[in-house]
Chain A
Amino acid sequence: MKFSFDDEQLALRDATRDLLTRACTPAQVRAAWTNETGRVPGLWDHLVDMGVVGMLAPEAAGGLGLTFVDLVLVLEETGRHAVPEPVVETAAWGVPLLGRTDLTVAAGEHWVPWADSADVIFTAAGRFEHADVVLVPRPSVDGARRLFEVHGTPAAVDVADGRAAYNRGVCGIAAQQCGLADRMLEMTADYVRERRQFGVAVGSFQAVKHHLANARIALEFARPLVYRAAASIAAGEADAGVNVSMAKLKADAASSQSARAALQCHGAIGYTTEYDLHLYLKRSWALGRSWGDRTFHLGRVARAIL
């Protein structure tokens, strides 16, 4: 038993964090709310150049030939920075399914984020080529998730391939939720250390401490299930789907609890759009109900154990 990441995997994560800290700042995420593409100009090329997008593809196909265990930590970083790019959809879902690294992939069960800038689009109905679809914009609560209804004639996707792609996608989203939770807790801990009321830092009050401690506990017990699900995917285990559903449920809980605690502990400033917190809150609300809601994932686990 060795349930940890090795130095190379941690180095990949750190390199991604460094890149995103520079190239996906809160100001850039905010700009994606109103710019033409809904994405961060130039960021996708950086991610491609670093190998993030093609990580799971064989080297012969232009990828890094790595596994989902390598990818999961990187995806967690894209969550931490609320990256407004179809990273999970392309790197986790699309690249292994298509065996290509040169296509941008968008995917979603109902509404598809960033479908307008994707070469290939997947929905629950099947596969669409960009040239053949009519896209109808739909507004997301997270303005940095540019959503579309997809109209067209889908091509069928092999059921086993689709299921495997779905599990990779869900696990990727769960990793992003862990990153988001961590970011929101970090922002809030920083804030309550500085903000003073009644002559003391509000972070010294037990009521505030306990909100944040509860969210931190939720994250502590979500991450191992996400990493375990990633390993399960990488090993091609037959019950990977159940492990993925467990991971998504706990990651949902961690991110929603962190969002709730973060807003409450910030107080009114967190309720403004001038302050950056809402960029992360809204991403967590959007991801919390996409890629299978709580009922779906609980049902998948319940069927396996009862």
Chain B
Amino acid sequence: MTIWGQFLPSSAAATILPLMDLSFTTEQEQFRSDCRDWLAAHVPRPALPSGDTRAGFAAHLRWERTLFDARYAVVSWPREYGGREASLWEWLIFEEEYYTAGAPQRVTQNGIFLLAPTIFEFGTQDQKDRVLPKMASGEHTWCQGWSEPNAGSDLAGIQSRGVRDEAGTGWRLSGQKTWTTRGAFCTHLFGLFRTDPDAERHRGLTYFLVDLQSPGVTVRGVDRLDGDEGFAEVFLDDVFVPDADVLGEPNQGWSVAMATTGSERGLTLRSPGRFLATAQRLLDLARRSQNDVESPGTRDRLAAAWIDAQAYRWQTFWTVTRIADGARPGPESSMVKVFWSELDVRLHELALDLLGPHAELLDGDDAGWMKGYEFALAGPIYAGTNEIQRNVIAERVLGLPRA
């Protein structure tokens, strides 16, 4: 018997220590197959116009309704709110199939993936009942009101304020939010406002749910780099918000919001399925040109890009196994955010290189790559810049001192 015998059961070790199980269950494979069939029958063709334009947004909301009616809008949510109680594994499977099928962007995603997890964790029963079903169906669409002219990476520098309403039943919000994605089209905004001006930076903030139809709200669309009116500035002038629309406790907004940033950076915002699909489309593009496939330099870059998409998939499976065992996502989510956002840029850069002089054309079958490249370039900026994420990794994963 070796020293290691103490760790092993007395009978044959090979039959006792199970292999990792890297397969999906029969039920999960069935779910994958169901998703694939449904998507093949329903994904709109030709593709919808960009959801970051007014006309495209409306078309995307009709698609969201189709998803909702088939219970594919929010697969992981409880049934009472429109979901099908899918596990995290099934959600990943859905995402893989969704993007492989070339299905439309999710214009509801900032609500579904950023706000909803926070509502599930901190919301009252009344808030869950009022907000979640309409979010899932697309009847209400939510934008994120965090950035301000003087608070971007330094989110704790928020200056928009909320003061107690004289009647004592709510708050009055004033200030300006900016770079609000799809803010010009959305019906609602979730955001942080300073409710205790005397408290230090991270303290004294409150998380509000704001109806953008309320008196005192002015929204101005801002054209983005890619030409779409995807951004907005949101001006608030003495906007009344009832107490029932405060998420979490007043002045606890920072810790409530941080729960959302974990989701945003991590796997729920940009699941591996997106990049696996992009990598596959890249290989398809390369195969159309024999020169590209045979050029050693190009071939190596294609293989490296495909490997990175696989690396993200397996790192996600690694993480999800831990989460399924009860762990909470930690500062590792910052590594994930840097990785997928920079992978997305590499995938699109390589596609543009393959397209050569055709890359600059904004018409034709391959125009989506330039548009995708422009969108990919936003990835290292939004959801906390990659420079901030690298600080977080250094400080919270590697234990280096704060500046």
Binding site for B on A (CB under 8 A): 1-6, 8-9, 11-12, 15, 49-51, 59, 64-67, 69-70, 185, 189, 192-193, 200-201, 203-206, 208-210, 212-214, 216-217, 220-225, 227-228, 231, 234-235, 246, 249-250, 295, 298-299, 301-302, 305-306
B311 contacts partner chain A, Cβ-Cβ < 8 Å:
yes
Would A66 and B321 be within 8 Å (CB), given that A210-B387, A210-B394, A301-B306 are in contact? no
B311 lies within 8 A of A250 (CB): yes
Annotate B322-354 by CB proximity to A: 1 below 8 A, 0 otherwise. Answer: 100100000010010011000000000000000
Q: How far is the CA of A216 from the CA of B283 in the complex (A)?
A: 29
Contact A298 B304 (CB under 8 A): yes
Number of residue pairs A-B, CB distance < 8 angstroms? 189
B307 lies within 8 A of A216 (CB): no
The interface residues of chain A, by DSSP majority, are classed as helix
Contact yes or no, B299 A306, CB < 8 A:
yes
Contacts of A223 in B (CB 8 A): 315, 318
- Chain B 390-403 interface mask (CB, 8 Å, partner A; 1/0): 11011101111111
Cβ of B318: which chain A residues have Cβ within 8 Å of it?
Answer: 3-4, 223-224, 227
**Could you list 9 examples of A-B contacts with CB < 8 Å?**
A1-B24, A15-B7, A50-B2, A50-B3, A185-B398, A212-B400, A213-B393, A220-B335, A305-B302
| Contact of A192 with B400 in the complex, beta carbons under 8 Å | yes
Chain A residues positioned under 8 Å from B223 (CB to CB): none
State A231–B18 Cα separation when bound (angstroms). Answer: 11
Looking at the assembled complex, report how far the CB atom of B175 sits from the nearest CB atom of chain A, in whole angstroms.
Answer: 30
Q: Which of B8-16, B202-210, B224-232, B375-383 participates in binding chain A?
A: B8-16
Nearest CB of A to B314, in Å: 4
In the bound complex, how far is the Cα of B17 from the Cα of A207, in angstroms? 45
Contact of A302 among B302, B311, B339, B389 (CB under 8 A): B302
Chain B 19-46 interface 0/1 with A at a Cβ cutoff of 8 Å (1 = within)? 1111110001000000000000000000
B401 touches A49 (CB 8 A): no
Q: B317 interface residue, CB < 8 Å from A?
A: yes
In the bound complex, CA of A11 to CA of B8 (Å): 10
Do A50 and B315 contact each other (CB < 8 Å), given the known contacts A217-B335, A249-B304?
Answer: no
* Residues of chain A lying within 8 A (CB to CB) of residue B393: 209, 213, 216-217
Q: How far is the CA of A139 from the CA of B398 in the complex (A)?
A: 35
Please determine whether A3 and B317 come into contact, CB atoms closer than 8 angstroms: yes
The residues of B that contact A50 with a CB separation of less than 8 Å are 2-4
Give complex CA distance A9, B16 in Å: 12
Given contacts A204-B400, A217-B335, 17 further A-B contacts (CB under 8 A): A1-B24, A1-B28, A3-B20, A8-B8, A67-B14, A69-B20, A201-B400, A204-B401, A209-B394, A213-B394, A221-B315, A231-B19, A301-B306, A302-B299, A302-B300, A306-B299, A306-B303
